[in-house]
Amino acid sequence: MQVAEKFISINGEGPRAGALAVFIRFQGCNLACSYCDTRWANEADCPYEELTPEAITDYVLAAGVTNVTLTGGEPLLQEEMATLLQLFDRRTSCQVEVETNGAVPLAPFCTAGRPYFTLDYKLAGSGCEERMVLENFACLRPGDAVKFVASTEEDLKRAGEVIRRHELTERCTVYISPVFGRIDPKRIVRYMSRERWNGVRLQLQLHKMIWPPDMRGV
């Protein structure tokens, strides 16, 4: 498995925001979002460690941290991801969260050792909305999350349409986040208030408030 970096920090977003976690960032992605903040990890020439699922599991066990966040890039593109998830399930008692971009089917990973998913839905501002796998919504359950990252009011309107059509607030936690530096969070709050977005949570990226926005390993 191609690991671009591994480290311990707090979760900057998602259901376990603020909680300590072991991060495993995998190299490579099947999207090229306009606002991607980890583009370096998506490049073909990105340096990485080739690690087996067993080696990654050993690292997590040695870390002594009970939350694991698998991120990228796109972690579900890794050929041995199902094996890794099964190892985590058998050998650890960790809560495992997979941050996935919405363009990879979740169903193959919803068997034994199923993790928690934080699923992105890419809005028009990303340039990748047509790549979204809508069937993924049926795989979601309480404990999972859907995240919409908005850069314009048009993105906010579209997010509302998707949330209502697929009844997402009935399935899981739903977040709306601003593209860092492109839309003022106050505009999102005003929109949420105007549209009475019950069941939707504004989320800001904690790690970008604590460290420089482009800093790695945090």
Can you say which residues are annotated as belonging to the binding site?
Answer: 10-12, 25, 29, 33, 35-38, 71, 73
Task: Return binding residues for Mg(2+).
Answer: 38
Task: Return binding residues for [4Fe-4S] cluster.
Answer: 29, 33, 36
The burial of 142, by beta-carbon neighbours within 10 Å (0-12 exposed, 13-18 middle, 19 or more buried), is given as exposed
DSSP string covering 139-199: G--BTBEEEEEESSHHHHHHHHHHHHHTTHHHHSEEEEEEPTTTS-HHHHHHHHHHHT-TT
The separation between CA 102 and the C-alpha centre of its own chain, rounded to angstroms, equals 9
Task: Return binding residues for substrate.
Answer: 10-12, 25, 71
